[in-house]
Amino acid sequence: MSIDAAQHTRGESTFVDDLPESADLLHGALFSSPIAHGKLCSVDCSAAEGMDGVQRVFLAADVPGENQIGAIVPDEPLFADGEVHHVGQVIALVVADTPEIARAARDRISAEIEELEPIVCPRDAQRRGHLIVPSRSLQRGSAEQLAAAFESCTTVVAGSVEIGGQEHLYLETQAALAIPLEGGRLRIHAGTQGPTAVQRVASRVLDLPMSAIEVEVRRLGGGFGGKEDQATPWATFAALAALALGRSVKVVLQREEDMVFTGKRHPYQADWRMGLDADGKIQAYEATLFQNAGASADLSPAILERSMFHATNSYNVPHARITAHSCRTNLPPFTAFRGFGGPQGMFVIESALARAAEELDVPCEQLQALNLLDEDDAFAYGQRTENCHARRSFTEVAQLHDLPKLRAAVDAFNAKSARHKRGLAVMPVCFGISFTNTMMNQAGALVHIYSDGSVHVATGAVEMGQGVSTKLRNIAALGLRCDAQRVTIAATSTTTVANTSPTAASSGADLNGMAVQIACASLRQRLDALDSALAWDELVATAHMQRVHLSAGAHYATPSIHYDKDREHGAPFAYHVYGAAIVEASVDCLRGTYSVDAVKIVHDAGRSLAPLIDRGQVEGALAQGIGWLTLEDLVFDERGRLLSKALATYKAPDVHAMPSDVQVKFLEDVDNPAAVLGSKGIGEPPLMYGIGAYFAIREAARAFRKAGQSGRSSEHVDLLHAPLTPERLLLYLHGK
Ligand code: MTE
Ligand code: LUZ
Ligand code: MOS
């Protein structure tokens, strides 16, 4: 069980907005652009400044250092300056005695904005040359070989898809509290996955050394990638005001502000072409990805890279070319979201396979099974598979649940039923673990054993509900050979472990866990040197008496990973996670409603560090994946305004959206030499099982269309776009 579970249940766990408030606390509210693209001519703050209880209004000119927060590309001002590039871009910060006064004052600010034409479509942006970074192309085999492979194929299919974005909907909205300390220093309590990122950006904006800024994170009420980079501005606003006013300042976004101001999962568009030989083997695959990056880079270039890497999912594709454009539009900067571009890349090849299966009139799972990765197969980025469980997990899930029988049952049902149809899809997943940016794959730990035998573990890992603290505690207890109950996990702080990567890329437990293991091993060695058979508490007390150093720090850097961007070649991942899911759905074809009935998963979790937590991660990720492709419809209008900006207009998956039958089996007897104690990262990969829900529903709907076109059973109907909402499904079922 999670070490936080009891506290959470009792309502005792604290989040940023629960921290004790000092008497001098002030509150911030943000005035942002109502216009997606325009010239910012003037801002009138006089009415706001004149209000009782308003302390100050901050604008771009009030930034003491650089008005710049872009981490990968310096293209994102903290405050809009001269121009606005998306709706919700912050123009001014109001600081007042209460949150109510701050918001009322914010509502009295006005800006004169000369509207310019917004771009909302990534293809438009690409056509006009508005790219975040130069486009990239990843290739397996030469261009000539690819062309020849297409020539030799007996089946070639091609198409286009559009994939929607996704709102993170973490329960705790973006929040930060900045406290001025003596000597011009600051402490920031931030709801961030990346305390060091907040520290670095605040230092740049405030023109202070990083050592003058402490960032502390107790836990997050969910992050899901939405706080990997995008927790930074709110913390920086709070810090700026706290430094200027010498008082504590809190900034907490309301739900609608959070939905409008912050970036989400990237919408993508893609063109693809796939060639198969007479045996059904994929010989050639080509995809062009158009990533809607929004108005500034944020993490888009890294996300684009992962989309490319995962564009062939679990398949061995001998000739491939993946071209990817990161397109600058006038929407909020899209950002990390569980899967980090991988899901979009995988959705495209699954669309191609589904279409190929229709063309060949065979069940898609037959084509999938034929093309799975085996040991020592190559990915398009050059790395080869090692300890590959793609085929094993696919075969196990098929055997465990008698896939041929499930398939026959679906076909039999559809033959008899006119209005209700069923569909089935298998979704294999192969996901690389490591930050694709090799430099980021490092972590630190600091472990203290106190003289009474209790243990304090500090790392750079942020607890966001994923259970990393529980895993770290288990690793420490094993390493020290003490009872897990003696181990406490510290709040994450830049003062205990420095220069940390964000907790992301499903590698939080991997990287920080290794550092903890190393620190504990050196402590244990010191205790073992006492050569005593004493029990833990006495052993520690004795060690202290004998002046043994009972603290240890350690650093871990993932060995042997590398990637050469110029050659688009390397081995960026420490290892891959594999699995497969069978998804069954049924559709009421009169009403366009559907249900996802069953999801049966076989997943490779390695040797789990906490089996119950890993099961929860699989189920939670699955729910997010199903929601992304079926219910969650992120809608912007042509002027770049978010229409789905409340829970009344944005349908998130609830318990009813989850299949009543979810079965998760972990592969048994699997080891992983590349991660701590043989474990595997688990946070992101299972999200992609949700892709199967889309294809299962789509298959049911196609069965209905086919039945309506008597005799012409293999007639091609266009692929649907995602998400497959009931509205979209109804149009497909009854449209022309
Ligand atoms: N689980 C919960 N409950 N809350 C979260 O915010 N984030 C996910 C995943 N699982 C998340 C979660 C994402 S996007 C990642 S990258 C991983 O957890 C990060 O944690 P880990 O690296 O410790 O697995
Ligand atoms: N963040 C990042 C990530 O910076 N690089 C990655 O490769 C990554 N992958 C998944 C999630 N977050
Ligand atoms: Mo997760 S998208 O790596 O925060």
305 noted as active-site residue:
no
Question: Residue 567, class by beta-carbon neighbours within 10 Å (0-12 exposed, 13-18 middle, 19+ buried)?
Answer: exposed
Confidence at residue 713, expressed as pLDDT on a 0 to 100 scale: 42
pLDDT at 715 over 80: no
Confidence at residue 718, expressed as pLDDT on a 0 to 100 scale: 65
- Report the pLDDT averaged over residues 633-654: 97
Confidence at residue 207, expressed as pLDDT on a 0 to 100 scale: 98
pLDDT at 409 over 50: yes
Confidence at residue 711, expressed as pLDDT on a 0 to 100 scale: 40
For the stretch 539-547, contacts whose Cβ atoms lie closer than 8 Å and that sit 24 or more positions apart, written own/partner, are 539/453, 540/449, 540/450, 540/451, 540/452, 540/453, 541/451, 541/452, 541/453, 543/449, 544/451
d(CA 734, CA 727) in angstroms, rounded, equals 11
Ligand nearest to the CA of 440: 2
Ligand nearest to the CA of 622: 1
Tokens of 305: 């890279």
Ligand nearest to the CA of 561: 2
User: How far, in Å, from the CA of 61 to the mean position of ligand 3?
Assistant: 33
pLDDT band at 714 (very low <50, low <70, confident <90, very high): very low
Tokens of 612: 């119950």
- Of 592-596, 632-636, 700-704, 714-718, give the lowest mean pLDDT range: 714-718
Mean pLDDT of the chain: 97
Confidence at residue 706, expressed as pLDDT on a 0 to 100 scale: 85
**Which one of 230, 303, 304, 500 would you pick to mutate in the ligand 2 pocket, going by the greatest count of ligand atoms within 8 A of its CB?**
303
Q: Which residue's CA is minimally distant from atom 7 of ligand 1?
A: 224
Residue 225 contacts residue 340 (beta carbons within 8 Å): yes
Residue 487 contacts residue 455 (beta carbons within 8 Å): yes
d(CA 541, CA 539) in angstroms, rounded, equals 5
Q: What is the pLDDT of residues 149-162, one digit of tens each?
A: 999 999 999 999 99
User: How far, in Å, from the CA of 488 to the mean position of ligand 2?
Assistant: 28
Confidence at residue 719, expressed as pLDDT on a 0 to 100 scale: 64
Confidence at residue 720, expressed as pLDDT on a 0 to 100 scale: 74
d(CA 199, CA 188) in angstroms, rounded, equals 9
Confidence at residue 299, expressed as pLDDT on a 0 to 100 scale: 98
| Number of neighbouring beta carbons within 10 Å of residue 668 | 6
Q: Which residue's CA is minimally distant from atom 7 of ligand 2?
A: 435
Confidence at residue 277, expressed as pLDDT on a 0 to 100 scale: 98
- Report the pLDDT averaged over residues 26-50: 98
Answer yes or no: is the C-beta of 338 below 6 A from any ligand 2 atom: no
- Helix (H) or strand (E) run with residue 285 in it: strand 282-294
Which atom of ligand 2 is least distant from the CA of 440? Answer: 4
Those residues whose C-beta lies under 8 Å from the C-beta of residue 234, and which sit 6 or more positions away, are 174, 175, 176, 190, 251, 253
Q: Which residue's CA is minimally distant from atom 9 of ligand 2?
A: 505
Counting residues of the chain whose pLDDT is more than 90, the rounded percentage is 97
Which atom of ligand 1 is least distant from the CA of 506? Answer: 22
Tokens of 105: 């004052």
Angle ∠(407,413,419) on CA atoms, nearest 5 = 130
Which atom of ligand 3 is least distant from the CA of 224? Answer: 4
Residue 571 contacts residue 562 (beta carbons within 8 Å): yes
Confidence at residue 133, expressed as pLDDT on a 0 to 100 scale: 98
- Of 164, 154, 161, which is closest to residue 349 (Cα–Cα)? 161
d(CA 343, CA 265) in angstroms, rounded, equals 10
Confidence at residue 712, expressed as pLDDT on a 0 to 100 scale: 42
Q: Output the pTM of the full model.
A: 0.97
**Which one of 299, 310, 684 would you pick to mutate in the ligand 3 pocket, going by the greatest count of ligand atoms within 8 A of its CB?**
684
Angle ∠(599,600,601) on CA atoms, nearest 5 = 115
Q: Could you tell me how many helices (H) and strands (E) the chain has, helices first? A: 19, 26
- Report the pLDDT averaged over residues 245-250: 98
Torsion sign (Cα): 172, 175, 180, 183: positive
pLDDT band at 92 (very low <50, low <70, confident <90, very high): very high
Which atom of ligand 3 is least distant from the CA of 505? Answer: 3
pLDDT band at 258 (very low <50, low <70, confident <90, very high): very high
pLDDT band at 517 (very low <50, low <70, confident <90, very high): very high
User: How far, in Å, from the CA of 690 to the mean position of ligand 2?
Assistant: 20
Counting residues of the chain whose pLDDT is more than 70, the rounded percentage is 98
The residue assigned the tokens 């871009």 is: 89
pLDDT at 37 over 80: yes
pLDDT band at 710 (very low <50, low <70, confident <90, very high): very low
Q: What is the pLDDT of residues 192-209, one digit of tens each?
A: 999 999 999 999 999 999
Note if the bond before 723 is cis, omega within 30 degrees: yes
Residues with CB under 6 A from ligand 1: 222-225, 338, 464-466, 468, 503-509, 617, 620, 681, 683-684
Q: What angle, 0 to 180 degrees and rounded to 10, lies between the N-to-C axes of helices 691-708 and 726-734?
A: 20
- Helix (H) or strand (E) run with residue 150 in it: helix 143-152
Partner residues linked to 427 by β-bridges: 581
Q: What is the pLDDT of residues 430-469, one digit of tens each?
A: 999 999 999 999 999 999 999 999 999 999 999 999 999 9
Which atom of ligand 3 is least distant from the CA of 227? Answer: 4
- Catalytic residue, from 172, 632, 684, 699: name it: 684
Q: Which residue's CA is minimally distant from atom 8 of ligand 1?
A: 224
